[in-house]
């Protein structure tokens, strides 16, 4: 089992939206990928409510059976479309991929 976890810090404003709106759009767009990409077993998005100095704004948690499934997901056109949006609205990104 592969776990893929990403944290994003968002820009205060991007694409004509404030940070809160873009966080909701990321959540909506990524959660729509559930059951749309072969090999993606689970995908959850959380929006931070603490807003502390060490907080990310949005977290992605996803599961894949194999690394090949994660690679397939990352290259899939539906994921690439969401990724383009996220890249426009984020200021920082951290990722951890691990196997259990």
- pLDDT tens, 51-75? 998 999 999 999 999 999 999 999 9
Q: Which CATH architecture has domain 2-99?
A: 2-Layer Sandwich (3.30)
- Residue whose token pair is 């559930």: 34
Residue 23 belongs to what H/E stretch? helix 19-31
Looking at the chain, the whole-number percentage of residues with pLDDT higher than 70 is: 100
Tell me the domain boundaries of the chain: 2-99
Please give the biggest Cα pair distance in the chain.
40
Q: Which two tokens stand for residue 61?
A: 């948690």
* Structure confidence at residue 34 (pLDDT): 97
Instruction: Give the number of residues written for the chain.
Output: 100
State the average pLDDT over residues 14-41. Answer: 98
- Residue whose token pair is 């940070």: 19
């Amino acid at each position: 089992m592969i776990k893929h976890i990403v944290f994003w810090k968002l820009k205060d404003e991007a694409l004509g939206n404030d940070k809160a709106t873009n966080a909701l759009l990321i959540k909506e767009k990524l959660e729509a990928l559930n059951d749309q990409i072969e090999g993606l077993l689970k995908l959850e998005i959380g929006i931070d409510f603490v807003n502390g100095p060490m907080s990310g704004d949005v977290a992605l948690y996803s599961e894949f059976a194999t690394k090949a499934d994660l690679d397939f997901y990352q290259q899939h056109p539906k994921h690439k479309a969401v990724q383009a949006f996220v890249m426009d609205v984020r200021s920082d990104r951290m990722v951890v991929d691990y196997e259990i």
